[in-house]
A and B are shown apart, each in its own frame.
Chain A
Amino acid sequence: KQEVTQIPAALSVPEGENLVLNCSFTDSAIYNLQWFRQDPGKGLTSLLLIQSSQREQTSGRLNASLDKSSGRSTLYIAASQPGDSATYLCAPYNNNDMRFGAGTRLTVKP
């Protein structure tokens, strides 16, 4: 069974900082990996999907990288804003099974 770990569990930064969220997984035989954002009391919103053949994906200020062999992915957020405050979850996908990490709770202070 896939085990997913996200570090740090919580992060508080001042507005404008660049930051990196880390995700590691135990089973590297994945088809893809997805990063999500969850606001309090809300559902999950897909941010980026990285296919197993890709090494990174970019969307605006977000960049996600994937290293399958080492079982790691990072989400880079540039020039953070208070609106980025949320919980970020990574989810590697294999064998029609998508497992989630516990998430990183990000607070961006104005």
Chain B
Amino acid sequence: DAGVIQSPRHEVTEMGQEVTLRCKPISGHNSLFWYRQTMMRGLELLIYFNNNVPIDDSGMPEDRFSAKMPNASFSTLKIQPSEPRDSAVYFCASSPFGLGANTGELFFGEGSRLTVL
């Protein structure tokens, strides 16, 4: 299994530009999570999906952030317009189990490092 695949691995953009981060979860996994990691705030949960449906997006910082999961094998996190304070590493993770499951081991991708100038 290839694991969780994220792209791009690194992105440098200018303030105001649109940024799209992509994630391919492990095949067969029901749940997908987007996290953001910064030195100041550590790992923060942004949004998670179960069976392609957004379950909780309360962690999404602002309306500038949006996430979609059009099918079981693909998800995007979009920032429009981007700001310097959005600079962080964005991680995607997937889990083989669904709502309320008493397991839920999480597998992470390598992350997308975003720098907004």
Contacts and interface: CB of A to CB of B under 8 A. Distances in A.
A34 B33 CA distance: 15
A31 B99 CA distance: 11
User: Max chain B CB contacts within 10 Å: which of A31, A89, A98, A102?
Assistant: A98
B61 interface: no
B50 A96 contact: yes
Interface string B78-104: 000000000000010100000111111
B109 A51 contact: no
A91 interface: yes
B104 A93 contact: yes
A44 B43 CA distance: 11
B105 A49 contact: yes
Size bracket of the B interface: 20 to 34
A96 B55 contact: yes
Given A44-B91, A96-B31, A96-B48, A34 B42 contact: no
Interface residues of A, number: 25
A95 B31 CA distance: 12
A25 interface: no
A100 interface: yes
A46 B45 contact: no
A43 interface: yes
Contact of B91 (A32, A43, A96): A43
B107 interface: yes
B99 A32 contact: no
A91 B8 CA distance: 26
A97 B105 contact: no
A101 B50 CA distance: 23
Contact of B102 (A36, A45, A52): A52
Interface in A19-67: 31-32, 34, 36, 42-46, 49, 51-53
A44 B108 contact: yes
Interface of B: 31, 33, 35, 42-43, 45, 48, 50, 55-56, 91, 93, 99-111
